[in-house]
Amino acid sequence: MSMLATIREYLLKDFEYVGRFGAQMDYEAYWAARSKNGNRLEEAMYSHKFQLIASLVEPGSSVLDIGCGDGSLLAYLRETRDIRPYGVDVSARACELADQKGIEVVQADLSLGSASLPQADYIVMSEVLEHLPNPEEVLLRVRQKFNRSLLVDIPNTGALNDRLRLLLGRFPKQWVFHGGEHIRFWTVTDFLYLCPKLGYRVQRHYGLYDPYYDWALKLWRLYPRLFTRYVLYVLQRDG
């Protein structure tokens, strides 16, 4: 599919999901499908994100990845930064895939408050908060569980493509397999406003590589509020 056709589909259409996955969100089906769904653009996006996160993590430190999925990020950090990896995920299939990579992983639903989390130098929550009904509660729960930084990346609902969808009468579409994947939404301004209310200081935020905006000026890097679909925030406790 050409880039123009991809953009047109993104702005005007929705994915057909009910016939494939049913009316309810099923994370076992999600991970079974996702593990077979790699593509070149997605690989480039994750490669940039992994490298950026690695640059923010001290070698030899401990990293807890909440919503670790198949463990790819932790495996990358172990290889490149010699970290001590720990993972948590709600999906049994995802935990199985992470375990195959040699990651110490626990199956738990953090939104229910039942998971006992280890203390770690860094906590990573990559593409997690948008899936939770109570992200504010979860952010408060992990506030004392990291020694250095909490690294969070979430979709940017203020990105140009989502603004255009609204102008065209369509709600922003940030999910891939099922409309129930994402149930909470933020712009960059929204999230920067939220963090101090929960006792966090945003040390810095980064626009993540986005092939839709990878023009000569690298607008996804220069002005992430508008020109990237994903933003990474480096959070520290405020006080």
Which of 60-74, 156-170, 208-222 is the least confident region? 208-222
Please list the alpha-helical segments (H only) found in the chain: 3-12, 18-21, 27-34, 40-55, 72-81, 92-100, 135-141, 160-167, 188-197, 219-222, 224-227
State residue 31's pLDDT score: 64
User: How confident is residue 36, by pLDDT bands cut at 50, 70 and 90?
Assistant: low
Mean predicted confidence (pLDDT) in 154-167: 93
Mean of pLDDT values over 25-46: 67
SS3 state of residue 109: coil
Dihedral-angle region of residue 218 (phi above 0 means left; psi in -120 to 50 means alpha; beta otherwise): left
Mean pLDDT of the chain: 87
Mode of pairing for the β-strands spanning 104-107 and 62-66: unpaired
pTM: 0.88
> Do residues 109 and 95 touch, judged by C-beta distance below 8 A?
no
Homologous superfamily of 3-237: Vaccinia Virus protein VP39 (3.40.50.150)
For residue 201, pLDDT over 90 is answered with: yes
Residue 221 DSSP symbol: H
Q: What distance lies between CA 96 and its chain's CA centroid?
A: 20
pLDDT digit string (tens) for 7-34? 676 676 665 554 555 656 666 666 666 6
Confidence of residue 38 (pLDDT cuts 50, 70, 90): low
Contacts of 5 (CB under 8 A, 6+ apart): none
User: Is 90 exceeded by the pLDDT of residue 168?
Assistant: no
